[in-house]
Amino acid sequence: MFIALLVLGGVVGAAYVFRQVVVKGKRCTSEAKLHGRTVIVTGSNTGIGKTTAVDLAKRGARVILACRNRQRGEAALAHVKQESGSNQVVFMQLDLGNLKSVRSFAETFLRNEPRLDILINNAGIYMAGRTEDGLGMMFGINHVGHFLLTNLLMDRLKECEASRVVNVSSLGHNFGKIDFECLNKHKALGLGTSFMEVLQAYCNSKLCNVLFTHELAKRLQGTKVTCYSLHPGSINSELARNTNSLFQLLLKPITALFFKNTVQGCQTTLHCALQEGIEHLSGRYFSNCTVQEVYSKAKDDAAAKKLWEISERMCGLA
Ligand SMILES: NC(=O)c1ccc[n+]([C@@H]2O[C@H](COP(=O)([O-])OP(=O)(O)OC[C@H]3O[C@@H](n4cnc5c(N)ncnc54)[C@H](OP(=O)(O)O)[C@@H]3O)[C@@H](O)[C@H]2O)c1
Ligand SMILES: *[C@@H]1O[C@H](CO)[C@@H](O)[C@H](O)[C@H]1NC(C)=O
Ligand SMILES: *[C@@H]1O[C@H](CO)[C@@H](O)[C@H](O)[C@H]1NC(C)=O
């Protein structure tokens, strides 16, 4: 009995030390205050989007929670207000899987909000299927929806001078590839539904985020708007909720032990949104609150431009 307790204590202790030393990662050290500034966080009803929103609200920002589900969005609104002690928090409905919804969100926002200082493209999904517009689910939500949103809000960002766009990508982008033929034919970056095919399509959509940041930075040269993409770390969130239940069961102990919690998981997003003096790194990719080199496929000028043009056509901007 005593031995068993000792072993258990040892394991828990080791896990705690491991989490504190290895898993935790760097914190955003910026003390920036955001009174009078407006921020949008997409997908902020749960996961790292929600903890990002709480932090920004605490700093005094007016925070727009852009979420697709009204009930979940309003529950998050109450939570963020309570945690931050701020009443400058607003819920606005946005479904990134529906381009009409993106347009109507942008219209409402532009009509009601005079400023936009920080746009955080955080929402993401891990799931096979199609969006309402017939695009590949992950390509459509993780990439095209945000592409349209960012473009529709661009003038407001430019009006606010030193504003920023932050794209939550993933380490998975390293395994991504962009098959333009598949994109033209099927409006998707992968079609299968097997475990590996879904994983691959997720990585492809996340490579789009990095490439877009690369192209956007170029298009923003000469303005004061800067943009960043990032890997938040491996986080114990709801991202795997649409995978099969056996996989989720196996994943549970791993995420509990080896993954960051959502407060740790939002630090790199905060760093990209707030850290003073990183403007010269516009277009770059961050992880662990540090700028990182990417493979050449993630800064491929020609691919980034081509993807931009296809995306424009897909959401009727061109
Ligand atoms: N968790 C990780 O380990 C990890 C690693 C690398 C990158 N990331 C990235 O981090 C970001 C945040 O993920 P998370 O881990 O916090 O996951 P999460 O807990 O699943 O949160 C994702 C958020 O995105 C929202 N969303 C999904 N589809 C949407 C749509 N069509 N329109 C609007 N919002 C939508 C979800 O809303 P609903 O609740 O309504 O579904 C939810 O609020 C994602 O971009 C993800 O790819 C996560
Ligand atoms: C993050 O950076 C800190 C400080 O530079 C370092 O000690 C830590 O090991 C890094 N963590 C990861 C996961 O890279
Ligand atoms: C973020 O990614 C979206 C979709 O990939 C893209 O439309 C947008 O331009 C990107 N913004 C930045 C700053 O990279």
Residues 17-51: tens digit of each pLDDT: 877 777 788 999 999 999 999 999 999 999 999 99
Q: Which CATH superfamily is domain 36-234+261-314 in?
A: NAD(P)-binding Rossmann-like Domain (3.40.50.720)
Over 25-54, what HEC string results? Answer: CCCCCCCCCCCCCEEEEECCCCHHHHHHHH
pTM for the model? 0.93
pLDDT digits (tens, 9 = 90+) for 120-175: 999 999 999 999 999 999 999 999 999 999 999 999 999 998 899 999 988 889 89
Over 103-136, what HEC string results? Answer: HHHHHHHHHHCCCCCEEEECCCCCCCCECCCCCE
- List, in sequence order, the alpha helices (H) in 133-244: 137-138, 146-159, 180-186, 195-219
For residue 144, the model assigns a pLDDT of 95
Q: Across-strand partners of 92?
A: 66
For residue 11, the model assigns a pLDDT of 83
Residue 175 burial (C-beta neighbours within 10 Å; 0-12, 13-18, 19+)? middle
Ligand 3: atom nearest CA of 229 is 14
CA distance 86 to 103: 28
CA distance 125 to 69: 14
CA distance 282 to 219: 11
* Contact criterion met (CB below 8 Å) for 307 and 215: yes
Q: Whose CA is nearest to atom 34 of ligand 1?
A: 43
The ligand 1 site (C-beta within 6 Å) comprises: 42-43, 45-49, 67-69, 72, 94-97, 122-125, 141, 168, 170, 231-232, 234-235, 237-239
pLDDT digits (tens, 9 = 90+) for 199-251: 999 999 989 988 898 898 999 999 999 999 999 999 999 998 888 898 899 98
For residue 182, the model assigns a pLDDT of 93
* Contact criterion met (CB below 8 Å) for 264 and 291: no
Q: Whose CA is nearest to atom 12 of ligand 3?
A: 213
Q: How many CA atoms lie within 13 A of 261 on its CB side?
A: 5
Query: Which residue type does 91 have?
Result: F
- Cα 24 to Cα 17, 127, 291, distances in angstroms: 10, 27, 17
Average of per-residue pLDDT across 62-90:
98
pLDDT digits (tens, 9 = 90+) for 42-72: 999 999 999 999 999 999 999 999 999 999 9
Q: In the chain, where are the structural domains located?
A: 36-234+261-314
CA distance 106 to 208: 22
Ligand 1: atom nearest CA of 241 is 20
213 lines ligand 3 (CB under 6 A): yes
pLDDT digits (tens, 9 = 90+) for 291-312: 999 999 989 999 999 999 999 9
- Cα 19 to Cα 15, 137, 233, 253, 307, distances in angstroms: 6, 34, 13, 13, 39
Question: Which of 173, 207, 177, 172 is closest to 190 using CA atoms?
Answer: 177
26 lines ligand 2 (CB under 6 A): yes
CA distance 81 to 29: 23
25 lines ligand 2 (CB under 6 A): yes
Other beta carbons less than 10 A from residue 21's beta carbon: 8
Q: How many CA atoms lie within 13 A of 243 on its CB side?
A: 19
